[in-house]
Amino acid sequence: MPGRLLTLLRRQRDQWLTLEALTAALHASPTDIIGRIDALHKLGHHIEQQPHLGYRWVGVEPGLTADRISCGLQTRRIGNEVVVFDTTDSTNDVAAHYAREGKYDGLAIFAEQQRRGRGRLERSWLATKGSSLLCSIVLQQNNNQIGGYLSLLAGLAVAESVDRCCRVRSRIKWPNDVILEGRKLAGILIETCRRRIGGEGRMPTSRDAHAATAYIVGIGVNCLQSADDFPPELQTRAISLRQVAGDKVDRLELAQILLETLDDFLVRFPVDNPDALHNAWVSRCDDIGRRLTVMCDGRSFSGRVIDVNAQAGLIVQLDSGPVRLFDPAITTVSPV
């Protein structure tokens, strides 16, 4: 597979790499290197070749494919299988279909367009075809260890990924919106379903419920939109990577970095070091220490945010005196 060659060429994209340098770096023969370059061309990667200079990666054809995402992907769990749809109702709905069955842990589902994309609290997620990174990840294993932390972990993984890919510095708005220059760049929707267990593929009973819970992590990142691509009511509230990083936003690279980052975080957090996850998340969240208004069950509460608890939610010192926890699944926040 040409994955290691692609990784090397992309890391050195501003430099020419001679055939001799590539063979030495990858411990491969010149014939092998040339064959791998041909394979990359067939996947849609554009690699320049100049006599005496060597090779240089200059880009990839528009559009996501499973082969392109998988090529060079360095993960242990997430993305072990990749599916890409041109158009679907919702990647989370597709993921739920797979999640109810066994042996799909780590499956990554992408779509160029969603007809019925959705976010938290039943909000719609609108994006023109090819303008965003839209994906859902299926998690079926060890969910008793990660469930309570998944909202924080996913938000942090998306923020880290866009920063690495586009050299920006994103922030997080509770519970897991990713913010750039004060506007929403990405959203995350985490859903659960019950999966079949056992060799007979039976549906779980109440005694099996914990082990049989599958999580679906839905992610949407605004990538290539211009300001005019957003509805008028969102133009001051939403932003894309293109608006900040320019025209060189590579959705393929972002897809791979996102899968690798989420894979890494699921290994490092939260079982071994939940405090590190908490601290990393808090360092990106501008809500900590601010006065906010929280809407919960049709009621409004104002107060100062003290902290966040992965299991319980946002911790707020209310203006009326008591400290209260707010569940992210049923609340929204806004500045006072």
Choice among 49-53, 87-91, 329-333 with the minimum mean pLDDT: 329-333
The pLDDT of residue 267 is 84
Angle at 108 between CA 97 and CA 181, to 5 degrees: 115
The CATH code of domain 287-335 reads 2.30.30.520
Confidence of residue 180 (pLDDT cuts 50, 70, 90): very high
pTM above 0.85, yes or no: yes
Whether CATH 3.40.50.720 fits 66-283? no
Confidence of residue 200 (pLDDT cuts 50, 70, 90): very low
Relative to beta strand 313-318, strand 132-139 is: unpaired
The fraction of the chain above a pLDDT of 90, given in percent, is 60
Tell me the pLDDT tens digit for each residue of 69-110: 999 899 999 999 999 999 999 999 999 999 998 789 999 999
Residue 271 has pLDDT above 80, yes or no: no
Determine the 3-state secondary structure of 312 from DSSP. coil
Q: Would the CA dihedral through 8, 178, 222, 150 be positive or negative?
A: positive
Choice among 34-48, 120-134, 185-199, 238-252 with the minimum mean pLDDT: 120-134
pLDDT (average), residues 269-293: 85
Residue ranges of domains in the chain: 3-60, 66-283, 287-335
Residue 54: CB atoms within 10 A of its CB come to 16
Position with higher pLDDT, 145 vs 90: 90
**Cβ-Cβ contacts under 8 Å for 278 (sequence gap 6 or more):** 152, 308, 310
| Residues 310 and 149 sit within 8 Å (Cβ to Cβ) | yes
Amino acid in position 321: G
Confidence of residue 233 (pLDDT cuts 50, 70, 90): confident
Q: If we measure between CA atoms, which residue out of 190, 150, 149, 151 comes closest to residue 173?
A: 151
Phi, psi of 5 (to 5 degrees): -65, -45
Tell me the pLDDT tens digit for each residue of 1-15: 578 999 999 889 889
Topology given in CATH for the domain delimited by 3-60 = Arc Repressor Mutant, subunit A (1.10.10)
